[in-house]
Structure 1
Amino acid sequence: MNSAAPAWITQTRTESALHVVHESGVVDPAAAERAAADLLRALGIEHSSESMRETPARMARAYAELFTPRPFDLTTFPNDEGYDELVLARDIPVRSVCEHHLLPFVGVAHVGYLPGERILGLSKLARVVEHFACRPQVQERLTKQIADWLADQLDPVGVGVVVRAEHSCMTLRGVQAIGSCTVTSTLLGSLREDARSRHEFFALAGIMS
């Protein structure tokens, strides 16, 4: 597998884990607050009242939080028992921001893999989802980045990722399709090539009965 990480990820390997840090640009809270205030004024929104006086600062802090995932250690363990069945974490929360309108999209991810020589600490599947979601994204890219990176780091027999999310850029503006959701998937290795493994993954993920 290709172990190269995206340019905005810094990885430091120790004896026990891979330390993963999102290398975002330098955050300038004061500049972000001024820009938020300018945006509100440009949109004709008065923010001098007591209830809205701090809104530009809140906006700046909120977007900084949305774009800054927490560092984590990708902890793996030897697959001593030779476990060769599917490992699947369902309903991992997804919170990201559409890169076209900077409006949130939220939903869940189902992430699974067929182990090779190593297995992953289960909480790390949620950490990986958060790591790739905390930046301006499109759902298709997010789904593939999660799958590709897990394949690179674990060298498993197969990887599957399904993301189901509601995009506020689609429900709150434009077509205003309230209640609609988007489903994307990426399958790698035997989960893509073997029909029975693929069916099992989608069934356990709740995509089919």
Structure 2
Amino acid sequence: MATKTDTRPGRKLYAGIEIGKGPQITRPSREEAERAVRTLIAYAGDDPEREGLRDTPKRVVGAYDEFFAGYKDDPIEVLSRTFDDVGGYDDIVMLRDIELNSHCEHHMVPFIGKAHIAYFPTDRVVGLSKLARVVEVFGRRLQTQETMTAQIAETIDRVLKPKGVAVMIEAVHQCMSMRGVRKPGVATITTQFTGVFKEDPAQQARFMQLAVDRGR
């Protein structure tokens, strides 16, 4: 599939999915961000000058630097170093139970869970830590779980060009636990398949079984 070009700078679309660095925008200064936090504290009904809240804007902005560090990284570059020598290996490579922390773009509250990733290599492989790093890059952005699942699969598919990619994410969304319907512990499961995992039901079933098997 060909890469599609978006007219907005800083965006890379592949099969309609944004997978490059975050959009190039004019970011406010740290001081402006801290003022915005003080405004939200006042909107919530408290005094931003109260002793316990006086340094909260600095801490919140610092936390945002960590929560959303994924906008600074390009997941394509994360996977750029590959190894051609697979030593005759001809089966799937899978990482299971990759811890995932992200924030929903609708309410900016966390969703927490795990990602399971597999790919069927052709003539090259990538370091296992790089797959986990791709999950981290997309997790540290504002988005939906559905979009992130597709982004991870499309990035691996584009860079490694394997026979197929499978991604499964299961996460609990705090926007359902803490507000709205207030149903704690409800897990959302999303999947995305390409190549043999999409075309061959047996390979797809095998991946799903490996994803849920905990040594039983």
Short-chain TM bin? 0.7 to 0.9
- Between Structure 1 and Structure 2, which shows a larger proportion of strand residues? 1
Partner residue of 1:191?
197
SS at match of 1:82: coil
1:29 aligns with 2:30: yes
Structure 2: how far apart are the matches of 1:24 and 1:110?
30
Q: 1:128 aligns with which of 106, 131, 134?
A: 134
Whether the 8 Å contact between 1:92 and 1:110 is mirrored in structure 2 is: yes
* Structure 1 position 185, deviation (Å): 0.3
Whether the 8 Å contact between 1:24 and 1:68 is mirrored in structure 2 is: no
Partner residue of 1:82?
88
Partner residue of 2:111?
105
Cα deviation, 1:135-172, whole Å, max 9, x if unaligned, reads 11100000001001110000000100001111111100
* Structure 1 position 48, deviation (Å): 2.2
**Percent identity over the alignment?**
40
Structure 2: how far apart are the matches of 1:88 and 1:46?
50
Q: Unaligned regions of 5+ residues in structure 2, if any? A: 13-19
Partner residue of 1:182?
188
Residues 161, 8 of structure 1: alpha-carbon distance in 2 compared, 3 angstrom cutoff: farther
- Between Structure 1 and Structure 2, which shows a larger proportion of helix residues? 2
Alignment length, in residue pairs? Answer: 200
Residues 27, 108 of structure 1: alpha-carbon distance in 2 compared, 3 angstrom cutoff: farther
SS at match of 1:162: strand
* 1:11-26 pair list within 5 angstroms: 25=25, 26=27
Q: Which amino acid aligns with 1:152?
A: R
Partner residue of 1:61?
62
SS at match of 1:48: coil
SS at match of 1:196: helix
User: Please, what TM-score do these two structures have when normalized by structure 1?
Assistant: 0.86
* 1:43-62 pair list within 5 angstroms: 43-62=44-63
Structure 2: how far apart are the matches of 1:162 and 1:48?
45
Structure 2: how far apart are the matches of 1:73 and 1:148?
14
SS at match of 2:88: coil
Q: Unaligned regions of 5+ residues in structure 1, if any? A: 11-19
Q: Which amino acid aligns with 1:143?
A: T
Structure 2: how far apart are the matches of 1:198 and 1:145?
19
